Structures are given as C-alpha cells and as structure tokens.
Structure 1
Amino acid sequence: MSDEHSPEISAVDLFCGVGGLTHGLVRSGINVTAGVDLDPHCRFPFEANNSAPFIERDVKDLTADDLRPYLFRGKYSLLAGCAPCQPFSTYSQSGRSKKRGMDWRLVLNFGSLVRELQPDLVTMENVAQLTDHEVFTEFLESLEGYSISWSVVECTKIGVPQSRKRLVLLASKLGHHGLDLSPQFADEPKTVRQEIEKLPAIKAGEQHPKDRLHAASSLSEINMRRIMASKPGGTWRDWDPELVAACHRKTTGSTYPSVYGRMEWDAPAPTITTQCFGYGNGRFGHPTQDRAISLREAAMLQTFPRSYKFLKRGEPVTFSRLGRLIGNAVPVRLGEVIGKCLVEHVNTYENGNVEMIEAESAQESSRLF
C-alpha cells in the first residue's frame, strides 16, 4: 500500500468504474480524492474498497470547477482516467449502438478538462487501437506544455496474468525523466495457476457459500459435453464432430478456434472481457473444472484482491452486470505500476530540485568568502 516516503499527490479518477485504476494508484502511494463515473452500479464497489467518494456524473457534463476542490488537495495534482473504449475495441466493431459510437468524444472531454485544470500530472489508459485514430492526436494537442510518454503495454510484462494490450499515456509538467513503465516489467509472466488455483472448487451453476462472487454460470447439456471434451489450451477442433457447432463448420467460423476453450494453468489467461463468465464466449473454461471461470476468478485475473467487494449484503448476483463491471475495469496491477512510475518521477524531480538548490547555495557561499 502507500509508502511513507511517497510525495503528496492528489488524484481524481475519471471514468473510474469499480475502481481498478484507483485501487492501483492508492497501492502505489497516491491519494485518490474522488472517482467519477456515470454508472450507478459502480458506486458501491468503488466506495466500499477505496477511501474516496464516488461522483455519479457524465464526464462530458463536468466543468473544471466541479473537480478543483478534489484535484488540488496535495502538493501535486494528477488527473487520471480511461475513457470508454467501445468505438475502438476489436470486441465491439459490430452491433454497436449509435450512442456507443459517440463515446470517442469522451476522450476529447478528458482533454478539455486537462487544458482547463492544468494538473501537474496526467495519465490515460485505453485500448491500443486508439493511437490509430485522429482523436488521439487531438488529445495529445490538449497536453501542450507537458512532457509526454506513451506506449502500448502488454500487461503480462507487468504482472497481470492475462494477455491484454493497453495504451498507457503519462504526461508531466515536472519534466520527462522517469516517465517510463519499463523498469516495472517482470522477468516472467504471471500465470492462471498463480492467481486462482487456491480458490475452492465449484460446479457449473454453483455459488460458493462463503463468497457470492465465486459463482459460475450454468451450462447446457451440449456445452457440458463440450467442456468435458476440451483440454487446456485446446480448441473445438479437438472434439468429436457431433459436438462442433454448425457455425464453426462453415469457412467463416473456422477462424475462431478460441471460443469454447479452456485456459491453461501455467500460462496467462486471455483478455478478460465483459462476457468472460460464458464458456462459449472465448477461452474462458476453467483449466480443470467443468465450467466457465467464476466472477471472482475473473476479478482476480484482473488483479483485484480476493477480498474486493462488488456486491452489497443481500444483493443478487447478476452475471451480465458484474461481468461488464469486471471486464471493463482497469487491471489493479496496471494502475499500481502507473502509480509507482509517477511517484518515482515526482521523487526524482524533488531530489533534482534539492540538488540544484544545494548547488546554488554552495556557489553563493563561495562568493561570500
């Protein structure tokens, strides 16, 4: 968690969701003073796990004055966020509503708030495809006067046990030194086994009595036969012909081998999506148990702590809603790595200033004598 030597950085998390980025920033030593999101279902998990208020607002309706009381509470200020990425996601290129198709404007709203507020630090996390679009160039233009660093990060390199490529942008008014995530890269990727193997076994359609989030969706008779015929890392091409879905027998369906697949214990998981609770939606089968991964397992593969609360007492488990909240979240570990990078960057800036002041003082003393 927070380090007593961390510089005093206050942050506001835009598009905060259930708090993945916030929780990671807090673990790195940054004081998140508020989270903003339009989705009311995010309020409980955000506030129950993070010592910050949840502001239920559409970011496009926010003004700089709305955020100033929260943002400028420390020596340094950080505006952070991950604007909804549906327009650019490879998982949502078809069947997208017109409303979702306009979500790219939220990136520009983020940029407008940066331009007005002029925080010391900015970080934006988003889908890798954003860099191919004009809106990203426009966002960069809103960062005039900042040192900027951005890269597409494969999350397996930073301790997230899933293959997930994300754009990470860092910007600072304190200079460019240290705006680099690579020092946080791990030597070996974290695996599915390391993250979820110790969870108690459950069956398809079952919920663990001591953890309501450790619940797995039910399987039809045909899907139970399919998962029993599946091996970790394999595909539906390994099945007997009568188990193969008609759509996959067609030429157009043969290019989707990962659906109806099992994860492998000793490899990272695939990207955790909003539909990760469904066996037929990707390689979301448990490595050894005949079921899809549970919601708790999905959250842990997103590096949320096992104790992270997503439900109020007595609140029913709704797979579609919780899957959406978990799949859309920023992995906590990614937030922590971003936070550590910014903390070290500010520390370097402060130490550099101290050295400069001491050098100037020494020069002045030599003139006096």
Structure 2
Amino acid sequence: MSTVHPLRRRHRPAFESGSRTLSVVDLFAGCGGLTLGTAEAAHAHGFAIDVRLAVDFEDAAIRAYQANFPSAKTQVAAVEAIFDGDLGSKPSGSELSVARSVGTLDVLVGGPPCQGHSSLNNHTRRADPKNRFYLRMARAAEVLRPKVVLIENVPAVVHDSEGVVDRATKALNAAGYTVTNSILELVRLGVPQKRRRHVLLGIRTGLVGDDIDLGEVLAAGTQRSRDLRWAIGDLANQTSNSWVDTPSRPSAENSARMQWLIDNDEHDLPNRLRPPCHQGDHSYVSMYGRLKWKEPAQTITSGFGSLGQGRFMHPSLCRTLTPHEAARIQGFPDYFTFDAAVTRTELSVIIGNAVPPALAATLIARLIAADVFGEPDTSRPAPE
C-alpha cells in the first residue's frame, strides 16, 4: 500500500473533529506554523483542535491563518497590548477579558519576533526592544494558565542582554510550571533545511509524573535527514498560473551568474563574478549560491526569491526558489494555502517568517503520548 508523500497532500485533514478536544492559543502566530504542527499531532492521536485565539500584528499573516483555520478566533493586534501586565502582577482588565474568552486552555504556543536576536542582526541583537516580546509569552502563560507553553525562537535568544530566557523561566517557575529549554536541529525532525531553533517548554506542575523527562521531550529527533529532492523534486517543472509557482524575475546580471553556476557545475560563485560589495574576504559564501539536490536547504528566509540574500538558487534550473518550493522546504503541505497574500512581498514574508510545523508536531505528539492532556482540566478557577 503506497503512502502519500507528507508534503504533497492536497486534502486538509479534519483537524476540528476528534473524540477529545485540544484547546490552543497561538501568539505572534504568523500564518500558523505552530498551530499546524499542533493540529497534526492532535489529529494523529484522535484529538480535535479548538483554536481559541490566534494573534499577530501583520494583517497578511492573519488572513493566511484564517484561510487555513477558518473556525479559529483570530485577531490582528499587538500581543503586548493584550497581555499588558507586568510579570507576576494581577491581571489587567485586558488580560481578564481575554482569559474569560479563552477559558480552560491546553496549549499556548508562540514564536515572538526574533530579528533582535538573529545572527544576521550583528549590531543590536543583544539589546533590541523586540527581545522583550519574548516575555509576553511568559505573561500570557501567567494569565491563561495553559497546561503547556511552548516558545520558539532563534538560538541567539539565549545571549539576549536582558536575559529574557532566564527571566521567562523564573516567571513560569513561580507560576507553577516545570520548565526546560534546548536548541533543536530541525533537520533531525524531518525538516529539509539546516535550521536551528531555540525552544522553551513549560508544563504545569502536577501534570507531569516522575516517569516523564522534559529533557527527553526536547531531545533531538530520530527521523532521517530529508534532502531537497525529497522536498521539491516533483516541482522542478511545475507549470501553473499561480504566482505561488512563479519564481521572481532576476536581473540580467543574476541570470548570467546562475547560468555560469550551471554551465560549470559549481555551487559557489567565485569572487570575480560577485557584485563588488560581496567580493573580498568574507564568510557569506552562500550568497549567490546554488542549492544541492542531495542535501537539505539552507535556512529559508523572506529573501528566498533573491539570489543575493542566500543560497536560494534552484539546484538544476536557472532561477531562484518559487514560493511553493520555499513553503515545502518549511514543511507546509500542498493543502496549506497562501492565497491570502495580495503582493509577492507579503507572500515571501509570510512563508519566510513561518515556523516549520514539524517542530510543534514532534513536541506535542510526545506530550500527548506522555498523557499530559489525558484528563479534562477542572483545576483552573474562572478569572475574577
């Protein structure tokens, strides 16, 4: 019996149907990568998902989220305007209102903006106001009291000058959570790209027995490495009128650079063929580079359509990656729609900023298997 390739599935599972329900809130939600991963894990174990709230300040991202999770309650807003209280303080009026609306909660997930921590932002990453968004996840956990809180970010978040990971951990500990954190190599979770992410996982004390090791939950995956051919090999000659399958239009200079790489069977462009600003001694050899079929892709960013922003040239064709290919490399199946984007820039940002669903799918599946969500939660009193 043949198995459908996980990224080529065209029919969305009935995530809202199941014998039990898993309630979810997704903050800094983007198009819903963490929600999708949670939904996939839940569906595989007979749970329906109920998205009580998904928030992002980008309208385009929420449009995409709503298109893929039509029954979800979504909101275009700044998370810090909703969860506006200080860590450890009594809930504010805004916080009480959202807590009443959400009710009993199983899973809180979020990927706060990470540009302040990114290694591409060398000058400000350790002292950037965006870094404080990380603490809004801890505040939301204080207010909503989920069984599980999962915060995703770039590895460099641990070097933040304000110590946001340690501060979030202490706040969650004080709120009654057992917390652990780790850096995950997503290629070991079956993601076909060389992407590393920092994950903080908190579970309400009392929901985990002595037989569960949170370190094991965040341990490296066991899936074999997926290469680029596995992810997008069938899309090389895809023809479609949709811009999702249309690559960006390169300049004449970049077309010539890509043709040189193919004609010479090279993957790194020599200095003499690079723009002057990319010549000389540097460590950015991936810029203007060609991908390899037998390896995972480099980390997908919103610049996947630009030859000068990374190793984003197709392995065998004279073009950069299409949005469809970039979405596949991120781990989004074909049933996940990005039609809500109205400009190519929106499309690139939505896909490039997304969290690969496999991250949440792996971790939530492990927690379901450990029976963290096994019994209905009746311990949390209604907000006053």
Q: Deviations over 1:219-246 (max 9, x none)?
A: 1111111111115772112x7x3x2322
- Residue in 1 aligned with 2:280? 250
Q: How many residues align?
A: 334
- Tell me the CA shift for residue 7 of structure 1: 5.5
Contact (CA 8 Å) 2:68, 2:337: kept in 1 or not? yes
Match of 2:225 among 189, 195, 199: 189
Aligned equivalents of 1:8 and 1:274: distance in 2?
Answer: 34
Aligned equivalents of 1:275 and 1:26: distance in 2?
Answer: 28
The answer to which structure has the higher helix fraction is 1
Higher radius of gyration, 1 or 2: 1
2:25 pairs with 1:25: no
| Within-5 A mapping of 1:7-18 | 8-18=21-31
Match of 1:108 among 117, 135, 142: 135
Name the SS for the 1:256 alignment partner. Answer: coil
- Residue in 2 aligned with 1:338? 363
Instruction: Look up the equivalent residue of 1:325 and give its one-letter code.
Output: I
TM-score (norm 1): 0.82
Q: CA RMSD in A?
A: 2.7
- Tell me the CA shift for residue 183 of structure 1: 6.8
Contact (CA 8 Å) 1:7, 1:346: kept in 2 or not? no
Instruction: Look up the equivalent residue of 1:343 and give its one-letter code.
Output: I
Instruction: Look up the equivalent residue of 1:234 and give its one-letter code.
Output: H
| Within-5 A mapping of 1:102-251 | 102-133=129-160, 134-144=163-173, 145-173=176-204, 174-175=207-208, 177-179=212-214, 180-181=216-217, 185-201=221-237, 208-230=239-261, 234-237=267-270, 241=272, 243-251=273-281
Instruction: Look up the equivalent residue of 2:57 and give its one-letter code.
Output: L
Instruction: Look up the equivalent residue of 1:163 and give its one-letter code.
Output: K
- Tell me the CA shift for residue 257 of structure 1: 1.0
Instruction: Look up the equivalent residue of 1:148 and give its one-letter code.
Output: V
Q: Which moved more, 1:189-198 or 1:28-37?
A: 28-37
Instruction: Look up the equivalent residue of 2:222 and give its one-letter code.
Output: A
Instruction: Look up the equivalent residue of 2:319 and give its one-letter code.
Output: R
Percent identity over the alignment is: 30
Q: Deviations over 1:295-327 (max 9, x none)?
A: 111111111112321124xx6442x22211111
- Residue in 2 aligned with 1:263? 291
Q: Deviations over 1:194-233 (max 9, x none)?
A: 111111526xxxxx53433112111111111111111577
CA shift in 2, pair 1:255/1:347, >3 Å:
closer
Aligned equivalents of 1:110 and 1:137: distance in 2?
Answer: 13
Aligned equivalents of 2:149 and 2:279: distance in 1?
Answer: 48
Name the SS for the 2:371 alignment partner. Answer: helix
| Within-5 A mapping of 1:23-62 | 23-29=36-42, 30-50=49-69, 51-62=71-82
2:303 pairs with 1:290: no
Aligned equivalents of 2:52 and 2:146: distance in 1?
Answer: 14
Aligned equivalents of 2:169 and 2:186: distance in 1?
Answer: 23
CA shift in 2, pair 1:168/1:260, >3 Å:
same
- Tell me the CA shift for residue 268 of structure 1: 0.4
Aligned equivalents of 2:55 and 2:149: distance in 1?
Answer: 15
Contact (CA 8 Å) 2:26, 2:53: kept in 1 or not? yes
- Residue in 1 aligned with 2:352? 327
The runs of 5 or more residues in structure 2 that have no matched partner are: 1-12, 43-48, 83-93, 376-384
Contact (CA 8 Å) 1:6, 1:343: kept in 2 or not? no
Contact (CA 8 Å) 2:30, 2:350: kept in 1 or not? yes
